[in-house]
Amino acid sequence: MDTHSAYLRQAGVCLHITSLPGPYGIGEIGEHAKAFIDSMQAMQLSVWQFLPLGPTAFGDSPYQPLSTFAGNELLIDVNDLICSGFLEESEVHALTLLPHDFVDYGALIPAKLALLQLAASRFDYNASAAMKAEFDDFKQRHDESWLHDYALFRTLKTRHDERPWPEWQPQFVHREPEALRDWEASNASNIEAIKIIQYLFYRQWRELRDYARAKDVQLFGDMPIYIALDSSDAWANRELLRIDDDGKPDCVAGVPPDYFSADGQLWGNPLYNWDYHRAHGFDWWIERLRAAMELTDIVRIDHFRGFEAYWAIHADADTARHGNWEPGPGDALFDAARAALGELPIVAEDLGMITAEVEALRTRHHMPGMKVLQFAITDEQFNLSDIEENCVCYTATHDNDTTVGWYTGDAEAIHTDLIQAAFSTDAYLAIAPLQDYLGLGSEARMNVPGTAENNWRWRFSTEQLNDRVCNDVSKMVQASRRGRLV
């Protein structure tokens, strides 16, 4: 059964959680997320796509998370912590003074982390018996696989002034058992606090997912193919990667030069030790996909072509110009995952220079690909009728300028025109960023690839997503005969 077989032709929206409105300096997974789902219903949109949910580090990019399994604590709903008795309203006042139209990460992060630590310190006294039992179950299910290592990693990272783990003291870089035992003994309360905070994230996310299901809204997540070197996964399981005991990679990830970049793109992530994954039945990947499927209904995997072949760049290189194509795991990974998990609700990010072999891999596993109209319509040979059913058609992605900002012609409603074009295709799912539904310009751009500042900050206001906008979008959905779940 294809990923999209449970759908009538549908319409969706791309909006990261951080961009939601709210009084506490960043979008959160509580009442404003539920209100957005209500607005989606009014617009007749039935798929909500967002960016990766992992904890972010320097640069605030959700595509370089500190863990592939942990949730981003900055997204925890503060109001829920007040209602649960873990925080007082007076204690969160500083967050209300932060900007409401963008995320000021520099001011937000220390203030919110301090409040989360305070909330965690009150858990034993204020949590209900049911919550304590849930927390014990949460630890029992996740401690061994990722939670304990993540809590150790975060406390040790704080101890080392947030530096990457290869720069820590040698005994912690090399995970010497005696050093870790001593650290655990002397930092037990801080380690437990990290686990409580993770439990609070997952508890709130479960409530949000239940709410979305009740409203027939599907949650569409995003998974980077590579993990960050500075992550608990790499620190605790370096056998997964092509790195030595000191955390130094032999080669790193990127893509070769193309018409977008004369030097290619040097991402710097460590490459996978695919021989190890193959020898262990792709267990880590299976657990990674299982975790994603517990959070979302659909998941996009970034840089899908890396499963067929990936560009390996020497770790000391300054650009991605020189490297080698090396074979990825191919069918074996997806065969193993399907055997363990059943049908895989995966969308393959297959943008850029894609070979016939990559397309064949995607097709064999019935995975929808992506079409982005901002890219496609610049091709003189492009025709909307060429977009196949088994794909997701976008006006733009989080890496593009908004459609209004991108267009250089003289059309007042270019954003509406492009949305209607996406809706008119045979694609089983058509998605536009909220910025395009709102008709916003470049000031609302989410990310400029290759830059390190002023990204991931944009937020919308409740007033922007008003009844007029909802009605206009609803009419476009109806006119295109894009319906809800069947």
The rounded distance, in Å, linking the Cα atoms of 301 and 307 is: 10
Specify if 173 maps to a domain. yes
Instruction: For the chain, give the number of residues.
Output: 486
Q: Give the ranges where 97-176 is alpha helix by DSSP (H).
A: 105-121, 123-126, 129-142, 148-159, 170-173
Residue 465 has pLDDT above 60, yes or no: yes
List Cβ neighbours of 318 (8 Å cut-off, separation of 6 or more): 266
pLDDT tens figures, 205-259: 999 999 999 999 999 999 999 999 999 999 999 999 999 999 999 999 999 987 6
With contact defined as beta carbons under 8 Å apart, do 237 and 284 qualify? yes
271 domain-assigned: no
Beta strands in 378-441 (DSSP E): 391-394, 429-433
In a domain, 108, yes or no: yes
Give percent of the chain with pLDDT exceeding 90.
91
- Token pair belonging to 243: 């790195």
Residue 4 has pLDDT above 70, yes or no: no
The tokens of 151 are what?
């809590």
- Answer whether residue 353 shows pLDDT above 90: no
Which entry of 399, 417, 426, 472 is annotated as an active-site residue?
A: 399
Q: Which residue out of 349, 350, 401, 436 is catalytically annotated?
A: 349
Least confident range from 4-13, 55-64, 376-385, 463-472: namely: 4-13
Residue-wise pLDDT for 47-99, tens only, equals 999 999 999 998 999 999 999 999 999 999 999 999 999 999 999 999 999 99
102 domain-assigned: yes
**Residue 302 annotated in active site:** yes
* pLDDT the model gives residue 410: 77
Is 109 domain-assigned? yes
pLDDT at 266 over 70: yes
Kindly state the tokens that stand for 236. Answer: 């605790």
Q: Show the tokens assigned to 39.
A: 């607005």
What is the spatial distance between Cα 74 and Cα 328, in angstroms, rounded to a whole number? 34
The yes-or-no verdict on residue 1 having pLDDT over 50 is no
Whether residue 152 lies inside any domain: the answer is yes
User: Strand 324-327 relative to strand 251-255: parallel, antiparallel, unpaired?
Assistant: unpaired
The owner of tokens 């790195």 is 243
Separation of alpha carbons 388 and 118, rounded Å: 52
The mean pLDDT of 164-180, rounded to a whole number, is: 98
Q: Residue 452 burial by CB count (10 A; 0-12/13-18/19+): exposed, middle or buried?
A: exposed
User: Which stretch of DSSP H or E encloses residue 434?
Assistant: helix 434-438
Nearest to 446 by CA among 477, 476, 388, 406: 406
Task: Identify the pLDDT of residue 486.
Answer: 36
Single-letter code of the amino acid located at 29: I
- Asked if 263 is an active-site residue, the reply is no
Q: What rounded mean pLDDT belongs to the chain?
A: 95
Stretch 411-438: mean pLDDT:
95
Whose tokens are 């020189």? That residue is 322
pLDDT of residue 387: 94
Q: What is the pLDDT of residue 483?
A: 72
- Dihedral sign from CA coordinates of 89, 460, 482, 44: positive
pLDDT at residue 322 tops 50: yes
Distance (Å, rounded) from C-alpha 168 to C-alpha 158?
11
R_g over Cα of the chain: 22
Which tokens go with 69? 């399994």
Average the pLDDT over 19-35 and give the result: 98
How many other β-carbons are positioned within 10 Å of the β-carbon of residue 98?
17
- What pLDDT is stored for residue 355 in this prediction? 94
SS3 254: strand
Is 2 assigned a catalytic role? no
Using DSSP, how many helices (H) and how many strands (E) does the chain show?
20, 12
245 found inside a domain: no
How many domains, in total, are found in the chain?
1
Q: What is the pLDDT of residue 407?
A: 94
Q: Which residues pair with 185 in a beta bridge?
A: none
- Cβ–Cβ < 8 Å for 46, 52: no
Query: Given this model, what pLDDT does residue 450 score?
Result: 79
> Are the C-beta atoms of residues 401 and 394 closer than 8 Å to each other?
no
- Using the predicted structure, report yes or no on whether residue 272 has a pLDDT greater than 80: yes
To 10 degrees, what angle do helices 177-186 and 148-159 make?
A: 80
The DSSP 8-state label assigned to residue 304 in this structure reads G
pTM of the predicted structure, to 2 decimals: 0.96
Edge-to-edge strands, sheet with 10-14: 346-348, 298-301, 218-223, 47-49, 10-14, 429-433, 391-394, 369-372
Whose structure tokens read 């909500």?
Answer: 48
Q: What is the rounded distance in angstroms from the CA atom of residue 215 to the CA atom of residue 218?
A: 9
Please tell me whether residue 418 adopts helix, strand or coil conformation: helix
* Tens digit of each residue's pLDDT (9 = 90 or more) over 364-395: 999 999 999 999 988 888 899 999 999 999 99
Residue 298 lies in a domain: no
Structural domain harbouring 186? 61-207
Q: What Cα–Cα distance (Å) separates residue 83 from each residue in 86, 116, 368?
A: 8, 14, 42
